[in-house]
């Protein structure tokens, strides 16, 4: 069985999903139900290989999910290529993968919803949140471990308006902190990133006009230091001095962390704070019943909420041509949104478990995946 590794560019039509499944039909509910919670009772019913990819923020969680599911289903091999949300969506639409992870929901303006529907044979693509995490604003300034910043100041830093660490705007929010007069070096993602999309959405909506750009997965400002993927971002900030960037909070260990202003308080990045912010957010209007895209409230004043967050989605089809492919996608995605899967991600990747209502809705949607 030959496996093709997907990285930056994928030629449309490449068939990457190599399924050599035995004795399993999508219509056999005992097979897929046993896989949905990762239990070993139905381990013999599923076998073969399943390919997905996308958001690098999900990488740690996907490692934990794959391990849990494959332990209970020993005949299954699942791969997840952390190529970034944009490439992940493209690979799914081009049928290079069976499912995608994305920190941004499919955009109607960019034609992604239509393209995904075509890829799924004319039915709306499934889009369910699976991973909720704070986006930490991380920095590397010797002698400083934490800072308080409001959204306008953060926006001004990343837009190049505030250029030194002892700028009066920063000093006013950090009384008693000894700030150097050194240059600020912002770092941004070089790839099309859902983390960037969520971060620029926060800057745009909460920045009080200091961020003149629209939300975008591609960094809108030319120049500056760029790094690929979450790991690349963290490495670039760690490797410099006076650097500042943004990354999934679970992978930001050892760097200085910014607490952002929410109402009258400053809130540090945490899974709990991200979950609070998502809980006060609303679904995107006009989406299909199987599409759980959320419009995150970036300007919430809810105490303890941390509005610089990403809700990372799983994108898949409602139906697949191959019954075995359908069974594997249904089983694995059901495990991810289950209580067990969410707890695994919380313990091993620092994610916030889905709200019970959202988890139940997601489970119903992925539980209906079937063969055509």
Residues 269, 177 share a domain: yes
Residues 353, 258 share a domain: no
Mean pLDDT to the nearest integer, 271-300: 95
pLDDT number for residue 177:
97
Domain range for 315 is: 29-133+281-293+311-371
Number of domains in the chain: 2
Beta bridge partners of 81: 53
Mean pLDDT to the nearest integer, 339-355: 93
CA distances from 186 to 32, 155, 315, 324 (A): 47, 11, 31, 47
pLDDT number for residue 165:
98
CA separation for the pair 59, 53 (Å, rounded):
9
Of 156-160, 175-179, 355-359, the range with the lowest mean pLDDT is 355-359
pLDDT number for residue 299:
98
Contact between 63 and 101 (Cβ < 8 Å): no
Residues 167, 122 share a domain: no
Is there a domain that residue 303 lies in? no
Give the DSSP H/E element, type plus range, for residue 146.
Answer: strand 146-149
pLDDT number for residue 108:
84
Residues 239, 317 share a domain: no
Total-model pTM: 0.79
Contact between 299 and 307 (Cβ < 8 Å): yes
* Residue ranges in the chain assigned as alpha helix (H): 29-36, 59-72, 85-93, 112-119, 151-158, 168-172, 194-206, 229-239, 271-279, 323-337, 339-349, 356-366
Residues 332, 221 share a domain: no
pLDDT number for residue 140:
98
Contact between 18 and 362 (Cβ < 8 Å): no
Is there a domain that residue 301 lies in? no
Residues 222, 203 share a domain: yes
% of the chain residues with pLDDT over 70? 88
Contact between 317 and 126 (Cβ < 8 Å): yes
Is there a domain that residue 38 lies in? yes
CA contacts within 13 A on the Cβ side of 79: 17
Residues 257, 167 share a domain: yes
Per-residue pLDDT tens for 52-110? 999 998 999 999 999 999 999 999 999 999 999 999 999 999 999 999 999 999 988 88
User: Which CATH number does the domain housing residue 95 bear?
Assistant: 3.40.190.10
Is there a domain that residue 142 lies in? yes
Is there a domain that residue 304 lies in? no
Residues 85, 39 share a domain: yes
Residues 253, 180 share a domain: yes
Per-residue pLDDT tens for 10-52? 333 323 333 333 333 333 333 434 444 454 333 348 999 999 9
Assess whether pLDDT exceeds 90 at residue 205.
yes
Residue that terminates a domain, selected from 278, 301, 334:
278
CA separation for the pair 133, 138 (Å, rounded):
15
pLDDT number for residue 35:
41
Is there a domain that residue 1 lies in? no
């Amino acid at each position: 069985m030959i496996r093709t590794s997907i990285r930056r560019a994928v030629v449309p039509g490449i068939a990457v999903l190599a399924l050599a499944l035995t004795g399993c039909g999508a219509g056999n509910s005992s097979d897929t139900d046993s896989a949905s919670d990762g239990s070993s009772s139905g381990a013999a019913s599923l076998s073969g290989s399943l390919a997905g990819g996308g958001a690098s923020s999900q990488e740690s969680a996907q490692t934990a999910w794959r391990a849990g599911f494959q332990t209970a289903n020993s005949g299954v091999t699942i791969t997840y290529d952390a190529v970034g949300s944009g490439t992940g969506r493209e690979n799914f639409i081009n049928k290079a993968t069976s499912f995608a992870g994305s920190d941004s929901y499919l955009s109607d303006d960019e034609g992604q919803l239509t393209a995904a529907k075509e890829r799924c044979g004319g039915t709306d693509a499934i889009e369910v949140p699976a991973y909720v995490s704070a986006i930490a604003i991380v920095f590397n300034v010797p002698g400083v471990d934490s800072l308080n910043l409001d959204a306008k100041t953060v926006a001004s830093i990343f837009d190049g308006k505030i250029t030194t660490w002892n700028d009066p705007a920063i000093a006013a929010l950090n009384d008693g902190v000894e700030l150097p007069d050194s240059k600020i070096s912002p770092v941004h993602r070089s790839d099309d990133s859902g983390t960037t999309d969520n971060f620029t959405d926060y800057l745009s909506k909460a920045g009080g006009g200091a961020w003149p750009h629209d939300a975008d997965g591609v960094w809108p400002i030319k120049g500056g230091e760029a790094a690929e993927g979450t790991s690349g971002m963290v490495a670039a900030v760690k490797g410099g001095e006076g650097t500042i960037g943004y990354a999934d909070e679970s992978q930001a260990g050892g760097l200085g962390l910014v607490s952002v202003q929410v109402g009258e308080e400053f809130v540090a990045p945490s899974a709990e704070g991200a979950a609070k912010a998502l809980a006060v957010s609303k679904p995107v209007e006009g989406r299909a019943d199987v599409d759980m895209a959320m419009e995150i409230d970036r300007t919430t004043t809810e105490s303890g909420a941390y509005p610089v967050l990403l809700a990372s989605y799983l994108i898949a089809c409602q139906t697949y041509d191959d019954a075995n492919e359908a069974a594997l996608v249904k089983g694995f995605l059901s495990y991810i949104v289950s209580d067990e899967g969410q707890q695994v991600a919380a313990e091993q990747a620092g994610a916030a478990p889905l709200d019970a209502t959202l988890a139940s809705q997601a489970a119903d949607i992925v539980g209906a995946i079937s063969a055509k």
